[in-house]
Amino acid sequence: MNVRRSAAVLASVAVIGAATPAAADPSPSPSQAFPSALYGDKDPKFDGVWRQSLALLAQDTVGVKPAEKSVQWLTRQQCADGSFASYRPDPTTACDAKTMLDTNATSAAVQALTALGGHDDVTRKAVGWLKSVQNEDGGWGYAPGGASDTNSTSIVIGALAAAGEKPDQVEKDGESPHDALLKLALPCGGDDDGAFAFQPDKKGRLAANADATAAGVLGSLGKGMVVEPGKKSDATCEKAATPRQAAANGAGYLTAALAKDGNHLMSALAGAEPQPDFGNTADAVVALAAQGDTGQAEKSVRWLEKNSASWAAQSGPAAYAQLIFAAHATGTNPRDFGGADLVKQLNATGPAPQTAGKTKSEAPVEKEDSGSDFFGVWWYVGVCLVAGIGIGFLFTGRKKQQQL
């Protein structure tokens, strides 16, 4: 999901032909203040709606009622046509042709607002917009008009399912989202068999991508970011003639990839030593649990309990949300996650919730309102490194936020 947001930004830039800076100051200046309704204290330019949506969805998942102003902030980010941009610093200004619309952010917002309830008008318009920008192959790219990718298509499927739609019946020119995903699944019998690619390369070849595979498993199952354990499938890798088989194949690939590196995934950015990939490991846990492959999911969530604290603290609300989703999917207590209270830590990144569930001792830091809505963009360096090796896409699209 983290790579998803970084590469999603690159995908949107490629679509609209905009230039991006090579790097950015990782720390906000002392004069900058943060909008009090927004979760997290880093630049929201590329992930404001995404991380807000994940934070609110994670709170709802654990029985926390979010602050009303945080929910209102999210709904007010919507454009008149139903879409969401990655971030709108001034939502009173109408969206126009220059607004960078974002299928991943839109889909994450739909999942969060549907879970919270009471926002049918907002989600209905958002779903209508998503349908209107569906590609001819049945899938979606990060930005409308962009080539379909596994991650964006999958998070849109999650939004459609959350809103009560039947994703396999949402078609463009006779092609459904599941048709698009099947075309992005690697065949069995070769290297990385059963994995999903993010997108075909310029020659049409598919390369295995663990982040895309985690997303593809969920999309093929018709699931969103919050899942319950599925029924165990012992299917071996076979030709993916159905979405269910594609999900089983992808889960097999993830299980092998996680076990290979000590129950976690590794990132490999150009010019950098491979590092544990906490966000994509959390996404893989959710995908495996949804598929019913709980054995490896539980091993990997135990690894996250022991090793993810520093990453989550640095990455912020979306990271805490990812860990909460992984804990929920495996029946792990998010309030005692390796000794840490993920719910308390998430709540502390934004306004105090209306109710805090079982956690009684939250001490969230209220942030001051300001007309300036920009923060440091430390994670953007990761985007630039990804750009250097041409990797696309977590969501996202998650969609569309904070990769180390």
The answer for 40, left when phi > 0, alpha when psi is -120 to 50, beta otherwise, is: left
Q: What tokens were used for 373?
A: 């809505």
pLDDT tens digits, one per residue of 87-137: 999 999 999 999 999 999 999 999 999 999 999 999 999 999 999 999 999
Do the beta carbons of residue 56 and residue 347 sit within 8 Å? no
The tokens 């939004």 sit on which residue? 159
What pLDDT score does 234 carry? 63
d(CA 349, CA 331): 24
d(CA 110, CA 158): 9
Other CB atoms within 10 A of residue 174 CB? 8
What pLDDT score does 357 carry? 66
DSSP states along 223-236? --SS--------PP
- Residues contacting 175, CB < 8 A, separation 6+: 136, 137, 138
Do the beta carbons of residue 392 and residue 60 sit within 8 Å? no
**pLDDT tens over the chain, length 404 residues:** 553 454 444 444 444 333 333 333 444 443 356 689 999 999 999 999 999 999 999 999 999 999 999 999 999 999 999 999 999 999 999 999 999 999 999 999 999 999 999 999 999 999 999 999 999 999 999 999 999 999 999 999 999 999 999 999 999 999 999 999 999 999 998 889 999 999 999 999 999 999 999 999 999 999 999 999 877 766 688 898 999 999 999 999 999 999 998 999 998 777 788 899 999 999 999 999 999 999 999 999 999 999 999 999 999 999 999 999 999 999 999 999 999 999 999 999 999 999 876 533 334 444 333 333 323 333 333 433 333 333 333 333 444 343 33
What pLDDT score does 1 carry? 53
What pLDDT score does 35 carry? 81
The tokens 């699209």 sit on which residue? 397
Of 77, 76, 93, the C-alpha closest to 85 is 77
d(CA 222, CA 75): 25
DSSP states along 109-164? HHHHHHHH-S-HHHHHHHHHHHHHT--TTS---SSTTSPP-HHHHHHHHHHHHHTT
Measured in residues, the chain has a length of: 404
Q: Is 15 strand, coil or helix?
A: helix
What pLDDT score does 153 carry? 98
What pLDDT score does 233 carry? 66
